Structure 1
Amino acid sequence: MLRSILCLLTFTSLLFAQGNPAALPWKPEVINGVPYVPIDQVKQFYGFDQMQMQQKQLTLENNSVKVAFTVGGHEVRLNGVKFFSAEPVILKNGKYFLSQHDLTTLLDPVLRPQKPQPPKLQKENIKTVILDPGHGGHDKGAAGLEAKYTLILAEQIKKMLVARGYAVALTREKNNFVPLAERIRLANKKNNAVFVSIHFNAGPKQVRGIETYIPSTLNGQGMNNNADNIALATAMHSRALLYLNNPKGNNFEMPDRGIRRARFNVFMNIKHPTVLIEGGYLSNKVDAGHIQDPIYQNTLASAIVRGIDVFKNTLR
């Protein structure tokens, strides 16, 4: 895990290199009502010199990038960072296909990113981080503890960001209930900002790990800051895994549950680059112990802050 994340540190420095603005040359084929593109075309267009299939893993690779697709599934790894596609990669008549939607909204923004244009953020004018501690008041969240620990984590992140010169706004600063519409209104009052929603998860007792979410692009709205959302999520998620799974330091052995898309209400109408991080599962005994551990809290806060720094510094 550490080795794959270290490879990513080099990879993310390429995220905002100038891309070719020409229209994409895809010739999609409609399969089960969904436009798909042959992965042979993807290989040729992006200059991959290797393609191999092994145990349901289809891999494209060149000197700097390795992309691994799970055939029949949604998992996609880009230089070891786990993403989830909207549609499965499929095999038909001896050929592999990737949905055109996932090609244009996930793969292309990473492999061929465009230079941000106004009113997109620029490196010199990212001034504010909006932290959104989930839940609060009568809405206690997962295991009745989520609201408490999201606020604790947000306060630690705020201190670190302020020390680095950022302006920081919290959507709540105490144990009170703030409606989602009000959180969005507060966030959109800010300019030159990023929005980070902080949560802890719940699920089956055996499930644990770190997840990061960005807005779905299936309804169109998530396209507004799609490339920025991917870059911010990649920077934060990779640092969380790197910091929390450091065999020479704090090794909490947190599983990687990937970067995913969702239609969370808190994402609706946010004008800024946006991520939601699930910092572990309160329904799992091991994760719950970590979440309540000040060392874990500090380590995760440091990772999130570092991810924001990396995102800021990759913009041109």
Structure 2
Amino acid sequence: MTSKELQKMLDTTRRDVGREHGFRQSSYINFKVENGYFFCLYFSLEEARLEVKPMYADDLWWEIWEANENMREPLSLRGKGAYALSGQVLTKIAIFGDRRDFDNIDIRQFYERVFNEANTEIERFLLLNPDADSFVPDESRTYHDPDRLLYLMTLIHSGNNQEVLSIIKEARQNKHRCEFRSGLFEDSYTYIRRWCKRDGFFNNIGRSIHNLMNLIVKTKTFAVMGMGFNISNHNKLYNPHNGRIFEGSILLALITSSLYLFDSYDLAWIILALYIVRVFIILIKRSDKRELRYEAEYMSLPITNKRKFKIISWAIVILLYLYSFCIIFYATKD
């Protein structure tokens, strides 16, 4: 039996046995939902790790992280999604240590034992923690959660926002670097602080600015994606260099307008310097999750809408360049 055939047999057996015990399967995980908890078995070559977290935890985190679209995805995303929270480990079950052992064991009986042990742990856990809303994770048993996000979500869910802010403040003082980041200056703690302080006057102003920036990013992303849309091949990758054409048209319009209206080169050079800094930041920063989200949103649009964005985007760029050339023409004519 080849390695590929063996893996297929293992996956099929694990799926069948898991279903009999109430688990669903997706790739390397098996999961189930009970009493408001998400239980997930992670399978590797060495062990099967059973984790638990409240169902509300991921929903709350995605809302804070502005990734609400994840709530509409399959349940398996809570187990293996890039922005899914880690859970508290209930147990680790040793599995195959050596592939040569497969000849000496009954695969189905083995998975029966794994899922039976998992269900036993789940029953024991539910007896001690019947209410998901009041669950507080044991952080010493949380699997890879350096930012303590699961614990922070349980605190926010129970209304302890001030304690959350204190934890974040202490982490900042200790120079903690969050695992989840957005651009150069924002991370998971930035979003959580904004959420916890969202009812304050200054935070309402900050949120308005934040929403405006999101709108600008979305408009720019849709414009760039629209300009790169290939009518003859809908699946062709989009050319990111079209963004330079779009931003260049705006830059040229600003510079020429400042030259004509203020009759001064100073403001134009300031705008140019700011634009150079902007380009430098774009080159060195990581991919902004907002842009990635809006790119995915654009890709899900109907073809007719994509065509409209293409026409509108190119029309705006052409008009801006024509406007700039007209300004230059009249300025030099005078």
Same fold (TM over 0.5): no
TM-score after normalising by structure 2: 0.23
Tell me: higher relative CO, structure 1 or 2? Use CA pairs within 8 A at least 6 residues apart: 1
TM-score computed with the length of structure 1 as normaliser: 0.24
Larger Rg: 2
- Relative to total residues, which structure has the larger helix share, 1 or 2? 2
